Amino acid sequence: MLRGLRNLFRLIGIARTLARYDALFPADWLPATGGLVFAARILSGFRTAPGIRDLRPGERLARALQALGPSFIKFGQMLSTRPDLVGETIANDLSALQDRLPPFSSDEARNAIETEFERPVDELFEHFEDTPIAAASIAQVHFARVAADPDDPSAGPPADGKGAPARDVAVKVLRPGIERAIERDLDLFRWIAGIAERTQPRLRRLKPVMAVETFAESLRWEMDLRMEGAAASELQGNFSDDPMYVVPEVDWERTGRRILTTEWITGLPVHDVDDLVAAGHDLEAIVHKAAESFFLQVFRDGFFHADMHPGNAFVRDDGALCVVDFGIMGRIDRGSRYFLADMLLGFVTRDYGRVADVHFQANYVPAGTDRQVFHQAIRAIGEPIFDRPPSEISIARLLAQLFQVSERFDMEVRPELLLLQKTMLIAEGVGRRLAPELNMWQLALPLVEEWMREHRGPEARLAEITADVIHAAGRLPQAVEALERAATSIADGELRLDFGRAGAPQWPIWTGIVAVTALALAALLT
């Protein structure tokens, strides 16, 4: 009862903010909210913030979420990956949601660092810049310098021009009290999702409670900066042999739960086209590298940078593409990669039967779905898109429309593919800004085809089957031992298989042994 009242009062305050930004339309997604909407309009004085009326609904919602604070900014970013929930137009507008807030004080930043490492800031860093270079909803980043090994090629002169060499680093510091504030907001999100799932049958397919829990889990990981450091380290390891795709090294000595220190990245922001041209960079080469690196992350590694907005990518003087900020990463298992590659090749070659088939083979479409109708729906998505010049084809928008079709056929949503789709959309935008005549997915298509030959051709399938057999053979001794133990227990009377309850048929003992054998074989083969 107390929780409900507390969240109801908070909801009224949130609705008031939404009213000020003329963004109350999400209330239409929930039951019996007419009174709440009316109360919000009264509390807002029926006034809207300046410059709001000419914006699209998604843009107004983005402004409102930014005004509501960190949890709502992150929630808006999550909604931008769910066009199945909010529609493609609103999702696209939310993808531009600016994750910026006023910075917190340098005293708070220094205190956080000293509390984390139990050492003075001046001992950890030769120089620490008090003014942050960026302030977002969860954390802010400071420039600093640390002593470096004289043999380190990345080391530069010390800040004062004397003494030992120094190395430039970026220090990310969590906002004070952010964990408590986010947990309070998450409780509200769970409460709303629970009401929606109980009272709105049409929303149950979208699993709002599970969506909030997934969001909560991702936020918890994002607030442990050691996890971001681990993600950066993994991505760097995946590209360790590629000097033209740069991931900053993590300074683990100065990294903890609330502090992340990484190598300082210098370069021009990837969206500053004029500056890139003035510096003599080949824009088409940058798009080629972006397409190649994205393909490798998704298909080769199944681990990709999922927050590739322009502020997180830079071009170094030598043309290398550099990425930062690893708080949001995506993973795709092997089966999903095969599905995605088959589907994309089917669309690109206009083989819509193949696209339909891979959906059925992956069990993404409910049993009993009419294949011909589904095939027709796939064609309706593909034909309008591919009847355009290559430079205008958007694979990301194609996937977004495919996910919208999922509601009609009662298909379950795949969160990792939604995150991938949104990342692709952002990457497309950057690619078109750099080289409007190029289609980065056409650049990556030869890589996809080669990967398919290596991983989906007859030789690859034979190797996969062989690996599965070897894996099963390795488990054979344990399965046989378990079978022997079970058979001995049955023979000694320690284990009884009681099929003799009243009204049940009587089964001989060998039936039990056969059953145990079948279970052991099933365990072996799974």
Domain ranges for the chain, please list them.
2-98+180-217, 100-176+224-239+254-263, 265-456, 460-525
Alpha carbon distance 307, 425 (integer Å) = 11
- Of 82-86, 168-172, 487-491, the poorest mean pLDDT is in 487-491
Nearest to 256 by CA among 236, 218, 229, 216: 229
Where residue 302 falls (left for φ over 0; alpha for ψ -120 to 50; beta otherwise) is left
Tens-digit pLDDT profile for residues 252-309: 999 999 999 999 999 999 989 999 999 999 999 999 999 999 999 999 999 999 888 7
Alpha carbon distance 399, 420 (integer Å) = 10
Alpha carbon distance 114, 419 (integer Å) = 36
- Using the predicted structure, report yes or no on whether residue 27 has a pLDDT greater than 50: yes
Q: Take residue 47 and report the two structure tokens written for it.
A: 């006034």
pLDDT value of residue 46 = 55
Alpha carbon distance 187, 200 (integer Å) = 20
In the structure, what pLDDT confidence band is assigned to residue 121 with cuts at 50, 70 and 90? very high
Q: Tell me if 250 sits within 8 A of 260, measured CB to CB.
A: yes
In the structure, what pLDDT confidence band is assigned to residue 42 with cuts at 50, 70 and 90? low
How far does Cα 507 stand from its chain's mean position?
A: 53
- Using the predicted structure, report yes or no on whether residue 231 has a pLDDT greater than 90: yes
Q: Take residue 468 and report the two structure tokens written for it.
A: 């599965």
pLDDT value of residue 311 = 82
Name the 3-class secondary structure at 317.
Answer: coil
Q: Which residues make beta-bridge pairs with 172?
A: 141, 260
Q: Rounded to whole angstroms, what are the CA distances from 466 to 327, 460, 462, 471, 473?
A: 38, 10, 6, 9, 10
Amino acid type, 269: P
In the structure, what pLDDT confidence band is assigned to residue 482 with cuts at 50, 70 and 90? low
pLDDT value of residue 280 = 95
Q: Rounded to whole angstroms, what are the CA distances from 316 to 31, 246, 431?
A: 52, 9, 17
Q: Take residue 97 and report the two structure tokens written for it.
A: 């949601």
Tens-digit pLDDT profile for residues 163-194: 567 899 999 999 999 999 999 999 988 888 88
Tens-digit pLDDT profile for residues 132-157: 999 988 999 999 999 876 666 555 65
Alpha carbon distance 382, 350 (integer Å) = 7
Backbone angles phi, psi at 35, to 5 degrees: -65, -40
H/E stretch holding 354 reads helix 352-361
Q: Which residue has the higher pLDDT, 388 or 522?
A: 388
H/E stretch holding 168 reads strand 166-174
* Residue carrying the six token digits 């001794």: 477
Nearest to 435 by CA among 226, 283, 312: 283
- Using the predicted structure, report yes or no on whether residue 496 has a pLDDT greater than 70: no
Catalytic hit among 93, 168, 185, 307: 307
In 265-341, the DSSP E strands lie at 268-269, 303-305, 313-315, 321-323, 329-331
282 is catalytic: no
Strand 313-315 to 321-323 pairing: antiparallel
Alpha carbon distance 11, 6 (integer Å) = 9
Alpha carbon distance 494, 357 (integer Å) = 50
Q: Tell me if 246 sits within 8 A of 240, measured CB to CB.
A: no
Share of the chain above pLDDT 70, in %: 75
pLDDT value of residue 524 = 46
- Using the predicted structure, report yes or no on whether residue 444 has a pLDDT greater than 50: yes
Alpha carbon distance 519, 512 (integer Å) = 11
